[in-house]
């Protein structure tokens, strides 16, 4: 219990990133401002390898995802389906480590190994062929979000209906709305006109209190202040957790870390208990 409390307190402190609380200068994906890698290191751009290799770095971009553990990426199922069925892992290229879509400097390319699609067809988890080390994964947010709450979106989608995907990752503030929001979804809308989800924003993460509350599902055919629907992390909590664990599962290094942390926590509990006994005896 003590160790659990320590873990959740730590993850809570971790999830509230003060840099997320600053208001963008010009809140305009459309209507956004340049985002920084320090704020969103876990952002993944998803590319079609065939288009990448034939034309150039960034041209195959079509979707976003987020790193949820060293071995897993969460995205919209629309990013892993191609109309006739699931894509093969070999078709997809995942890139993180940069806010730029086209400049390969600093980019970390990761190979997908396996794709799992949730039974409701909304979200998907991509198991990575190798661990992504030294990149902070996103913290998952299982809390219900109140209407009116300010959250944030980020993506490389276009900034206007006739636009192309942008060069630099954009971020924009939105507010949670309960209006016409179906069950198991979380809905949000930008405060300003001409801001919010735009073309190529499928898989965009919705962050509330600095942690992941939703994933944009559907293929946007418009840009701007409409109410947008996100698959709720809360509603998919168990499934997402199970996939992340399964992606971790075959990894011996993680298992060793897990054992190390568990024994450390047990030792901590012993220390706490032994320091408590004397005071109880007084």
- Interface with ligand NAG by CB under 6 A: which residues? 28, 34, 69-70, 82-84, 87-88, 91, 103, 105, 159-160, 163, 166-168, 241, 244-245, 248, 254, 257, 263, 266-267, 270
* Rounded least distance, CB 183 to ligand NAG, Å: 25
* Rounded least distance, CB 83 to ligand NAG, Å: 4
- Nearer of residues 27 and 163 to ligand NAG, judged by Cβ: 163
Rounded to 5 degrees, φ, ψ at 148 are 90, -15
Question: Which DSSP category does 165 fall into?
Answer: B
Query: 133: buried, middle or exposed (CB in 10 Å: 19+, 13-18, 0-12)?
Result: exposed
- Nearer of residues 3 and 160 to ligand NAG, judged by Cβ: 160
In angstroms, the CA 72 to CA 137 distance is 9
Contacts of 68 (CB under 8 A, 6+ apart): 42, 74, 125, 137, 138, 140, 212, 240, 244
- Nearer of residues 12 and 266 to ligand NAG, judged by Cβ: 266
Torsion of CA 116, 157, 51, 55, to 10 degrees: -150
* Rounded least distance, CB 84 to ligand NAG, Å: 4
- Nearer of residues 8 and 82 to ligand NAG, judged by Cβ: 82
- Nearer of residues 87 and 122 to ligand NAG, judged by Cβ: 87
In angstroms, the CA 28 to CA 40 distance is 18
* Rounded least distance, CB 146 to ligand NAG, Å: 27
- Nearer of residues 69 and 213 to ligand NAG, judged by Cβ: 69
In angstroms, the CA 252 to CA 236 distance is 27
* Rounded least distance, CB 212 to ligand NAG, Å: 14
* Rounded least distance, CB 154 to ligand NAG, Å: 13
In angstroms, the CA 102 to CA 55 distance is 11
């Amino acid at each position: 219990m003590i160790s659990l409390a320590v873990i959740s307190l730590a993850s809570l402190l971790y999830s509230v990133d003060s840099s997320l609380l600053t208001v963008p200068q010009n809140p305009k994906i459309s209507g956004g401002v340049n985002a920084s890698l320090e704020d969103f290191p876990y952002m993944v751009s998803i590319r079609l390898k065939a288009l990448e290799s034939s034309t150039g770095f960034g041209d195959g971009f079509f979707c976003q995802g987020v790193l949820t553990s060293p071995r897993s990426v969460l995205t919209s199922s629309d990013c892993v389906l191609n109309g006739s069925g699931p894509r093969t892992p070999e078709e997809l290229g995942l890139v993180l480590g940069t806010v730029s879509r086209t400049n390969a400097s600093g980019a970390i390319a990761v190979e997908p190994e396996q794709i799992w699609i949730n039974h409701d067809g909304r979200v998907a988890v991509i198991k990575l062929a190798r661990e992504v080390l030294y990149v902070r994964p996103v913290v998952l947010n299982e809390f219900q979000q109140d209407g009116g709450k300010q959250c944030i979106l980020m993506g490389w989608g276009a900034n206007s209906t006739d636009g192309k995907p942008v060069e630099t990752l954009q971020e924009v503030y939105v507010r949670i709305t309960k209006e016409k929001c179906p069950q198991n979804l979380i809905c949000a809308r930008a405060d300003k006109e001409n801001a919010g989800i735009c073309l190529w924003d499928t898989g965009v993460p919705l962050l509330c209190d600095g942690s992941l509350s939703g994933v944009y599902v559907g293929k946007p055919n418009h840009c701007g202040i409409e109410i947008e629907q996100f698959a709720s992390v809360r509603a998919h909590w168990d499934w997402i957790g199970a996939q992340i664990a399964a992606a971790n599962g075959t990894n011996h290094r993680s298992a060793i870390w897990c054992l190390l942390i568990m024994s450390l926590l047990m030792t901590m509990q012993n220390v706490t208990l032994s320091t408590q006994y004397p005071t109880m005896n007084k």
